[in-house]
Amino acid sequence: MSLRVRVIASGSGGNAALYSAGGTHVLLDCGVSARRLTFALREEGIEPDELSGVFITHEHTDHVQGLRVFLKRRRVPLFIAPESWAALARCGVEARSVEPLRGGVRVQLGPLGLTPFPLPHDAASCFGFVVESAGVRAVQATDLGTPTALVRERLRDAHCILLEFNHDPDLLMRGSYPLDVKIRVRGRLGHLSNDQAGTLLAGCVHGDLQAVYLMHLSRENNQPHMALLSAREALGGRRVPLRVAQQDSPVEAWEG
């Protein structure tokens, strides 16, 4: 095994994923409770103090709400954009070791390399990540309102794609969200719809693609079968396993 991916939680209520290579493990986001994060890690045979780092995509609550308690009294390094860290620090979040993330600058932790790339989202800073080990690559891109050329470039050649399929526009507009929130979700700094994500995925399919995770589905404004339909159409008949990430429980891990 060169790289293992386990999505602990993904959705509007909380997000976290575990990336592992050999004995090196990192968390990407801490958007669920510290207790749940600890339980998920121990299911994988990992104690929280064994993590080589915690990486944060951005400072929104559904990506950091477990961070304060999870890092308390732990020396696990926190990797985060300075702009996002400034926003969290103003809210009283503390960490013993904070390492700044810069777009395009790779962080190497043992066999794991993580390279952040900017995503268009209404946060102080927001990153997707290319995660690599021994030539195997996973790319995670959630919380983006526009499928930019840079995102397309990063998704190409990935063996595992973790891509946001946030909402169906009709369900969103008929739903209970306030109008300003609906406009925000559909905006260029909001979230990808099923159709947007499907179009983006269609341009990134290649012969070595081994798995696709459908990420950050809205509970109210999407349905798994709708997201899966868009993803299947994007694959154009190619037999690539599709996995819908869940809000309340981990989904099957991928190993490449």
Per-residue model confidence (pLDDT) at position 91: 83
Is-same-fold flag (1-103; 144-244)? yes
130 strand-pairing partners: 115, 139
In this prediction, residue 197 carries a pLDDT of 98
Q: Sort 105 into a burial class: Cβ within 10 Å, 0-12 / 13-18 / 19+.
A: exposed
Structure tokens at 247: 């809000």
- Which token pair is 83? 């702009």
Does the 1-103 domain belong in CATH 3.40.50.620? no
Beta-bridge partners for 100: 80
Distance separating the N- and C-terminal Cα atoms of the chain: 6
Residues 6+ apart with CB under 8 A from 94: 68, 71, 72
* The predicted structure's pLDDT at residue 73: 83
What global pTM score does this model have?
0.97
202-229 burial, b for 16+ CB within 10 Å, e for fewer?
A: eebbeeebebbbbbbbbeebbeeebbbe
For the structural domain made of 144-244, what CATH number should be given? 3.60.15.10
For the chain, give every domain's residue range.
Answer: 1-103, 144-244
Find all residues with CB under 8 Å of 164, minimum gap 6, and list them: 141, 142, 143, 144, 191, 192, 197, 215, 216
CA distance 206 to 186: 29
H helix or E strand, kind and range, residue 204: none
203-248 confidence digits (pLDDT tens) = 999 999 999 999 999 999 999 999 999 999 999 999 999 999 999 9
The tokens describing 64, both together, are 């950091």
Residues 6+ apart with CB under 8 A from 75: 49, 96, 97
Per-residue pLDDT of the chain (256 residues; tens, 9 = 90+): 599 999 999 999 999 999 999 999 999 999 999 999 999 999 999 999 999 999 999 999 999 999 999 998 899 999 999 999 999 988 888 888 999 999 999 999 999 999 999 999 999 999 999 999 999 999 999 999 999 999 999 999 999 999 999 999 999 999 999 999 999 999 999 999 999 999 999 999 999 999 999 999 999 999 999 999 999 999 999 999 999 999 999 999 999 9
- Give the pLDDT score at 1: 59
